[in-house]
């Protein structure tokens, strides 16, 4: 399968049907939704697959990208893709040494729920501005992963949790979250969620 991000850069794609890369139409919709939040942001990608979403936000100025993928072979592909995008940014015209810190991009080969719940204590001091959640749709993990994000404090109080989920079987947000109106793109639906605190609504 040919896999490209915005701007035409070709990425590696996992062999077979192990991963389900996010469609280009949906990626563009996410980038448009988050356009004002991406530059300088901290992005956590849960069940990242090929890393295509993480590559898109890295290309758009995210300062730190952390991606989690359980399958070791797929995680290796994501790691290679992020490294290629980071290298391309570093060598792009206008990228001056010392102008800004280079973006950080890490891929952890781990089960996402276990990583959120049981990681080293020092890691729990980190919070993210944007967390993207796109587990295998049949795995029923949207709720458990969102619970782990909220209970273990991974999301900045002003941050957003984004769900990519199936239109025909869209899961309900668990307790503690307030969701935007669903944005449907064929068989894929996007939900933007914030913690319930302060009764905040999503624009």
Q: Average pLDDT of 169-181?
A: 92
Residues in the chain: 203
- Residue found under tokens 């729990």: 124
Considering only CA atoms, which of 53, 73, 70, 71 is closest in space to residue 62?
A: 53
Question: What CATH number corresponds to the domain at position 193?
Answer: 3.40.50.150
Is pLDDT larger for residue 196 or for residue 192? 192
Contact 45, 74 (CB under 8 A): no
32-52: pLDDT as tens digits: 999 999 999 999 999 999 999
Q: Residue 199 has what pLDDT?
A: 43
Exposed, middle or buried, 80 (CB in 10 Å: 0-12/13-18/19+)? middle
Exposed, middle or buried, 67 (CB in 10 Å: 0-12/13-18/19+)? buried
89-129: pLDDT as tens digits: 877 665 555 556 778 899 999 999 999 998 554 455 689 99
Percent of the chain exceeding pLDDT 70 equals 83
**To which H or E segment does residue 188 belong?**
strand 188-195
Considering only CA atoms, which of 161, 148, 147 is closest in space to residue 37?
A: 161
What does DSSP say about strands 155-166 and 104-109: parallel, antiparallel, or unpaired? unpaired
Confidence of residue 201 (pLDDT cuts 50, 70, 90): very low
Contacts of 18 (CB under 8 A, 6+ apart): 71, 73, 74
Q: What is the DSSP string of 23-77?
A: PHHHHHHHHHHTTTT-TT-EEEEES-TT-HHHHHHHHTT-SEEEEEESSHHHHHH
Spatial separation of the C-alpha atoms in residues 176 and 184, rounded to whole Å:
23
Q: Which range has the worst mean pLDDT, 1-5, 131-135, 157-161, 196-200? A: 196-200
| Cβ atoms < 10 Å from Cβ of 76 | 15
The model's pTM is 0.87
Spatial separation of the C-alpha atoms in residues 70 and 102, rounded to whole Å:
27
Domain count, the chain: 1
Asked if the model's pLDDT at residue 200 lies above 70, the reply is no
Confidence of residue 187 (pLDDT cuts 50, 70, 90): very high
Spatial separation of the C-alpha atoms in residues 128 and 118, rounded to whole Å:
17
Considering only CA atoms, which of 28, 16, 38, 10 is closest in space to residue 188?
A: 28
- Residue found under tokens 């490294």: 83
Structural domain for 162, as ranges:
3-199
């Amino acid at each position: 399968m040919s896999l490209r991000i915005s701007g035409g850069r070709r990425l590696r794609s996992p062999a077979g049907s192990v991963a389900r890369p996010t469609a280009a139409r949906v990626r563009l919709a996410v980038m448009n939704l988050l356009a004002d939040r991406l530059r300088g942001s901290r992005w956590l990608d849960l069940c990242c697959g090929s890393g295509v979403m993480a590559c898109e936000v890295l290309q758009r100025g995210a300062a730190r990208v952390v991606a989690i993928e359980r399958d070791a072979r797929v995680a290796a592909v994501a790691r290679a893709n992020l490294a290629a995008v980071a290298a391309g940014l570093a060598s792009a015209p206008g990228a001056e040494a010392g102008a800004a810190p280079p973006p950080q991009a890490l891929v952890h080969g781990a089960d996402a729920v276990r990583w959120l719940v049981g990681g080293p204590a020092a890691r729990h001091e980190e919070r993210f501005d944007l967390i993207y959640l796109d587990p295998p749709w049949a795995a029923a993990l949207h709720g458990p992963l969102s619970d782990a994000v909220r209970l273990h404090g991974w999301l900045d109080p002003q941050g957003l949790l984004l769900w990519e989920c199936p239109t025909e079987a869209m899961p309900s947000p668990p307790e503690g979250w307030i969701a935007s109106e669903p944005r449907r793109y064929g068989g894929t639906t996007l939900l933007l969620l914030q913690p319930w605190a302060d009764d905040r609504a999503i624009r």
